[in-house]
Structure 1
């Protein structure tokens, strides 16, 4: 497919083009109100000038804000100024946030008093202030006098002091200090064009986005694609409001909805068929779509969840099932312009490490204490996959989600799949911890009561699968810890497993 991606892209310019064509269309909404293209750009232009008054010479500026219109306004104001937004993950803990600020050499972070108070983040902000200057969005907005607003009315062209067309997101920091992922405007724009070339998204669609903007999918699909493609987006403040979100989807008459398997599982417990009847494209990403969740949505709501695959480093979408090209169990075919190859990994017999290149692949990493590390020709995903003859990608596991037991590489994902097959529910979460005798041991957590180790061992034995797949222990927990993106927090589960060993 011939997709022409310009070499130079500024995302502010892209939404300004659409605004001239559709000035009065309502394009973005949150629980506090809605804005048309012209109203949104009016605020962006005024805010960009106020930001310039405070920090015009700073190339990178931190954003510490929730999933509301105010954050998107600040994002595009920085784009207009030619400054680099650094989207800080407010759920990752104080030390990780400080590490992110140090990694990107931030001097200033923009946040909101209302957000800090409601989210009970005052102590976190106090620690942040020891390292950076904090500017509150409320103060910037109060200072937008008529002089700032007139500039938009007479359509004065912007003069960008900065030249940056980048944005920085951060990895979770589950193993080491968080890495800064540098995405260019071109990376994000290319990914949007790649998606639009394979999925029929039109100007009548309405995207419902509960994912935070520090999550790459929340950023690209929930905050940038709508402006570029002239598709209205509803920003919801938290993906954890399981009861409210199905009702909000019904109220908004949303047609497109994306979440993780874990979130879909929770929404499905409270949703009615009427809540979700306007949805026509529903995509799961971030973690494996479990069969019981897939079956429930087909059975109870008449919805076929399409599984996709992405990474922060790829802006984020790599592959996607579509209504026309969909293979159950796969994450779809690679998007146009993406090239793939598989590297074999010692000790793993099925599949290999997926390597990628394409216009949506990041510029590189910022590493704490080391600085910029360019991506190189191929991006190594760390995902063990197979690709079938039709080009569909099947993910076996993260490379990090293998345990080495008695010299054998055992997939922790495979153990979870076996538990689903045995007990009929996907509420199983498997980790490994060090053990002197065999190298590592497997601990499985479940939110299901009355699960016995004996029943699972008998099932594995009947399947004629190696006894190395037996968990050393199955432990009941009331609730699985989650990352803010909706993925299970396996690092927390590992800490729990190690703590229980003591």
Structure 2
């Protein structure tokens, strides 16, 4: 906590080493030299060492420099799931001085067209599975160079052909497309291997990545993350999480999408800087194959979020795995419920350390010290970071009172791409980024997130936060997962509606309300309950409350 007891600001420790690096590539080169023979990334049984990652990313950089005419600062979209091509492409693009535009492989044509046009991307590397969508929108973009890769492209013969054939002909996951000018990724690497590349110097304030926000409140905005932003957050992660790890000795399970800022920073930067081994899970929604991949692995770390932890702990095959080496579990991306955290620790023997961050903060803002986890909080501010909370009028609030969480630190974005007006709304004149999350700063220096500002429900003038309701409901033995939203109500302005996936078919609405009444004030008890087979989620696994609200509009309450 800060030294000034009366000041309503929490300040993290001093950040060390930020001036040691000018660019992300300085970090990369130091790591490949130090950990050359160590495994860097594995996927579907194939492993790349740091030396191989260095060679392949250099080949890609050479192709970009000799075959495209792209200049430093130009944008390249990378639209891939968790495959080995991702880190090769990212580090190759950065070595060529390009700006990486991470793109969700599940985007619709509309979303792709917007992001490519908005970013001004001149090149793209795309998985063949969604190349048909690119064909339909290409003429609406500035893209001049298209590279296409297949799922198994970086695997050895004959497994490469087998994977690609199964995906294309057996599972029929590759719709036909026509992109006659496209270059196969393997061909680009082969061509690049015969050319030398120039390491392109970049300054700390140059943009390294355009990371688009989810766009849940409209069209997605491009967050400008500089080399300094990403390096700062990598070093902040090292100071916060590093003491629980041994450089070059860890095996970390990475099931969340690596194009998402959470995994991008933790696995593509922090784990690379520490010389550790990330296991990329291509399709974590396929829980059967996910658990099969984990069998026989002596993993020491696991990075996930609440819905994934919950789903895995409900599986007998997962509970039967060997967790004897697991020492670190990190949660982020959404609120961690106490019931899920306790179930995970009972199952694996490893407590979950919850952190908090946003795309605009590269992303880590706070983290629970691994040796002093306080369940129900997002930990303490990471090094070099200050946080405070403000009321609706922007006035600072004292410790213990809920308000909008504001953040200041070297990981805060440069701004939104070509959106000066939006940047001005998000970052005030004093440099504080306003997160849109409601938080409480505790006297002991820990932070508790109450909920998203926009998800708050107003019942008869009282603020109700869905996270609190969902946390209570998650502890019911008959519930798999739930989501609480506000719906219009003549008597109270808004009423609480609970969407539930039940484990027990006999569970009914009255029983759930009775359960809530034991733990919650009357105005927080859901008025309506609707049972569902599943809840809509983002590709990362966050429940889409807004979609549930939208679906409920004009529908009779259940």
Q: Same fold (TM over 0.5)?
A: yes
* Alignment-derived partner of residue 68 in structure 1: 83
Q: Secondary structure at the match of 2:375?
A: coil
* Alignment-derived partner of residue 455 in structure 1: 511
CA RMSD, 1 decimal:
2.8
Q: CA deviation at 1:246?
A: 3.4
After TM superposition, the structure 1 = structure 2 runs for residues 443-482 of structure 1, keeping only pairs within 5 Å, are 443-448=497-502, 449-461=505-517, 465-466=521-522, 468-482=523-537
Q: Distance in 1 between matches of 2:338 and 2:189?
A: 55
2:153 corresponds to 1:109:
no
Contact 2:339 2:475 in 1 (8 A): no
* Alignment-derived partner of residue 195 in structure 1: 237
2:253 corresponds to 1:239:
no
Give the counterpart of 1:9 among 7, 13, 22. Answer: 22
Moved more, 219-228 or 362-371: 362-371
Q: Distance in 2 between matches of 1:428 and 1:486?
A: 13
Q: Secondary structure at the match of 1:308?
A: strand
Deviation digits for residues 106-127 of structure 1, max 9, x if unmatched?
A: 23322132xx1xxxx3542233
- Judged with a 3 Å threshold, the aligned counterparts in structure 2 of structure 1 residues 315 and 489 are, in CA distance, closer, same or farther, namely same
After TM superposition, the structure 1 = structure 2 runs for residues 340-351 of structure 1, keeping only pairs within 5 Å, are 340-345=387-392, 350-351=401-402
Contact 2:99 2:208 in 1 (8 A): yes
Contact 1:249 1:276 in 2 (8 A): no
Give the counterpart of 2:263 among 195, 199, 218. Answer: 218
After TM superposition, the structure 1 = structure 2 runs for residues 50-199 of structure 1, keeping only pairs within 5 Å, are 50-52=63-65, 53-57=67-71, 59-113=74-128, 116=129, 121-132=130-141, 133=143, 135-138=146-149, 139-144=183-188, 148-151=192-195, 157-159=198-200, 164-199=206-241
Give the counterpart of 2:452 among 398, 407, 415. Answer: 398
- Judged with a 3 Å threshold, the aligned counterparts in structure 2 of structure 1 residues 464 and 365 are, in CA distance, closer, same or farther, namely closer
Q: TM-score, normalised by structure 2?
A: 0.81
* Alignment-derived partner of residue 321 in structure 1: 368
Contact 1:292 1:424 in 2 (8 A): no
- Judged with a 3 Å threshold, the aligned counterparts in structure 2 of structure 1 residues 389 and 109 are, in CA distance, closer, same or farther, namely same
- Which residues of structure 2 form unaligned runs of 5+? 1-12, 150-182
Q: CA deviation at 1:477?
A: 0.4
Q: Secondary structure at the match of 1:263?
A: helix
Deviation digits for residues 154-206 of structure 1, max 9, x if unmatched?
A: xx653569994420111111111111111112211111111211322222111
* Alignment-derived partner of residue 469 in structure 2: 415
| Count of residue pairs the alignment pairs up | 491
Q: Distance in 1 between matches of 2:509 and 2:51?
A: 61
Q: Distance in 2 between matches of 1:62 and 1:312?
A: 17
Q: CA deviation at 1:84?
A: 0.6
2:307 corresponds to 1:258:
no
Give the counterpart of 1:310 among 351, 357, 382. Answer: 357
Q: Secondary structure at the match of 1:303?
A: coil
2:332 corresponds to 1:285:
yes
Moved more, 201-210 or 363-372: 363-372
Q: Distance in 1 between matches of 2:519 and 2:437?
A: 26
Moved more, 449-458 or 32-41: 449-458
Q: TM-score, normalised by structure 1?
A: 0.89
Q: Distance in 2 between matches of 1:434 and 1:293?
A: 30
2:540 corresponds to 1:485:
yes
Q: CA deviation at 1:254?
A: 1.7
Q: Distance in 1 between matches of 2:207 and 2:20?
A: 11
Deviation digits for residues 344-377 of structure 1, max 9, x if unmatched?
A: 248x994111111111111111267978768450
Contact 1:283 1:305 in 2 (8 A): yes
Contact 1:82 1:165 in 2 (8 A): no
- Judged with a 3 Å threshold, the aligned counterparts in structure 2 of structure 1 residues 7 and 352 are, in CA distance, closer, same or farther, namely farther
